[in-house]
Amino acid sequence: MRSSLLLAVSAALLLDLASAKSLVLKNNCAKPIQAGVLQNGQSSPTYYTIGTGSSQTASLASNWAGRTWARIDCDQSSEQSNNTQCGVPGTPNPASLAEFTFAGAGNQDFYDLSMVDGYNLAISIAPIGASQGSTKYQCGSPACSSLPTCPSDLAVRTTTGDLLACQSDCSHYNEAQYCCTGAYGSAATCNGGPYAPMIKSACPDAYSFAYDDSSSTYTCDTGTATGYTITWCP
């Protein structure tokens, strides 16, 4: 009985490993980055310090859902203690996000670039082992290679004045018409605010506000893509 149980557990572990997906985290920036990978519903990311021109791989469950981001000037412990500079992204300290849902509806992987809260670094996603379909949204490679200019009122800066990130209208002003809440909680009533079109113009593949789905959501058959490469400063 015990040997049969061990064999069953081993087989299950091998199946999990065989069906795992990889996120290849690649740094093309001029400085080292600290990349964070956070599963939905959890609060503690896994961090990877990645030198310029290098990459690291996160192996994840085949049904994983979550997001990843990166920051510069966060590879030292003294820097990492500053939550605004190096913490989990949110409205006070946004970062460019790559978001994933593996094995979602219709046995599809869903993925996107999000700048709904704001952004900090240029970023791209490329499926591994899959070719683009009939449209760019089918196993395509969304990218934001050139960030828009950040208005001074949306800029998040260090104590010495260096630009850390740029907030969106929603994350800065927290008003319903920008955050697509309340009476503005639909695609018909919300456009994300005056800065959203500027983000969309510079980065047409990325979400610029909550209801930007039609030009920002990418899918790939979950059995085709073995993983995804996320490149910062592509």
User: How does pLDDT run across 186-223, given as a tens digit for each residue?
Assistant: 999 999 999 999 999 999 999 999 999 989 999 999 99
d(CA 59, CA 24): 9
- 38-86 pLDDT, tens digit per residue, is 999 999 999 999 999 999 999 999 999 999 999 998 866 666 666 667 8
H helix or E strand, kind and range, residue 84? helix 83-86
SS3 for 146-178, per residue?
Answer: CCCCCCHHHEEECCCCCEEEEECHHHHHCCHHH
- 125-177 pLDDT, tens digit per residue, is 999 999 999 999 999 999 999 999 999 999 998 777 888 899 999 999 999 99
- 97-123 pLDDT, tens digit per residue, is 999 999 999 999 999 999 999 999 999
pLDDT at 87: 84
Which ranges in 87-168 belong to alpha helices (H)? none
Q: Is 166 within 8 Å of 154 (Cβ atoms)?
A: yes
What mean pLDDT, rounded, does the chain reach? 89
Amino acid (1-letter code) at residue 65: A
Confidence (pTM): 0.89
Question: Which of these, 221, 227, 231, lies nearest to 61 by C-alpha position?
Answer: 227
pLDDT at 80: 63
